[in-house]
Chains A and B, each alone.
Chain A
Amino acid sequence: DAGVIQSPRHEVTEMGQEVTLRCKPISGHNSLFWYRQTMMRGLELLIYFNNNVPIDDSGMPEDRFSAKMPNASFSTLKIQPSEPRDSAVYFCASGQLSGYTFGSGTRLTVV
């Protein structure tokens, strides 16, 4: 089991550019979460999916953020246009009620 795979591990982009973060959940897990972690705000839930369906996206900060899960094995989080305040570590997690596994995170820096 390769665990939850996130790519890229690091991303540096210029303000205004589109950024796409990717996540491959563990096979068989029916829930997928996107979190953002910053020093100021800690771990924030952005959105989560159950069986590929978005259940709660109330944590998505603005319309610049969008997330998709076209199938059970892939999800994306897109920021368009990116801003310096979006700089953070973005975690993807997958699992079921009885347990969740986190990916290694994507460290995003917007300059």
Chain B
Amino acid sequence: AQKVTQAQTEISVVEKEDVTLDCVYETRDTTYYLFWYKQPPSGELVFLIRRNSFDEQNEISGRYSWNFQKSTSSFNFTITASQVVDSAVYFCALSEVGTGNQFYFGTGTSLTVIP
């Protein structure tokens, strides 16, 4: 079973639009971490954010914001006023204490921002 599900395979938006990338996770652990990574066309994997399971406070970093809801096992990522440079594949990931720090990736969402 998929531990991390990113149902949106590809998304296209026009520059300056807001876009939300969905992430749903599955775990039985009470202690876990959730992550978002960005993979631009250059190929590297860039860390964006980490949240632990005890902190449901939403976070905002510039145009980026994250909505963590344990009740729905979701950790969604919103880009406000998207820019062409935001075009990339975005991966959501889960790390569980109970599986010895095993690190599970979603299948990624490819975001294209059209100028």
Taking beta carbons and an 8 Å cutoff, which residues of A are in contact with B?
Answer: 31, 33, 35, 42-43, 45, 48, 50, 55-56, 89, 91, 93, 96-102, 104-105, 107
Contacts and interface: CB of A to CB of B under 8 A. Distances in A.
B100 A100 contact: no
10 contacts: A33-B103, A42-B107, A43-B107, A45-B105, A93-B45, A93-B103, A96-B101, A97-B33, A97-B97, A98-B52
B43 A99 contact: no
Nearest to B108: A42
Interface residues of B, number: 20
Contacts, number: 55
Interface of B: 33, 35, 37, 43-45, 47, 50, 52, 91, 95, 97, 100-105, 107-108
B101 A31 contact: yes
A97 B101 contact: yes
B45 A48 contact: no
B68 to A, nearest CB: 15
Nearest to B45: A102
Given A56-B102, A98-B52, A43 B108 contact: yes
